[in-house]
Amino acid sequence: MSDDAEMTMMLYADLLPEEEAVLKPMESAVIQTLLAKSVTARPLWTSSSESGVRTVQLVLPDEPAARVLLTLALEEVATISQNELIARLNQGLT
């Protein structure tokens, strides 16, 4: 078994290393927010590009149809605070 193995509460797919480095420290706060709203599905951070514009999305893939809870523009990922992220996540959960 590799010493580099890591267990996380969230899934991460198709993110750049710098995006993941910003989002991982906020993982616990995101999970607590979801659990407070009775959301038990395992969330996924993923990225996409449309018309050359990259976005990062927080998705619940386990629902009958995947549900996007939050979308961040690439520029926002580098500067968003944990408080702002949680506020926007709460808006997506209402």
The pLDDT value given to residue 14: 92
Structure confidence at residue 1 (pLDDT): 47
Per the domain annotation, does 24 fall within a domain?
Answer: yes
Q: What is the number of domains present in the chain?
A: 1
Number of Cβ within 10 Å of residue 82's Cβ equals: 12
**pLDDT digit string, tens, across residues 6-64:** 556 788 999 999 999 999 999 999 999 999 999 988 999 999 888 988 999 999 987 68
Q: Which residues pair with 11 in a beta bridge?
A: 44
What are residue 59's DSSP bridge partners? 44, 68
| pLDDT for 8 | 64
For the entire predicted model, the pTM comes to: 0.83
Amino acid letter, 65: A
| More reliable by pLDDT, 94 or 37 | 37
**What is the domain range of residue 86?**
11-92
- Residue 51 CA: distances (Å) to CA of 14, 44, 48, 55, 75: 17, 23, 10, 11, 16
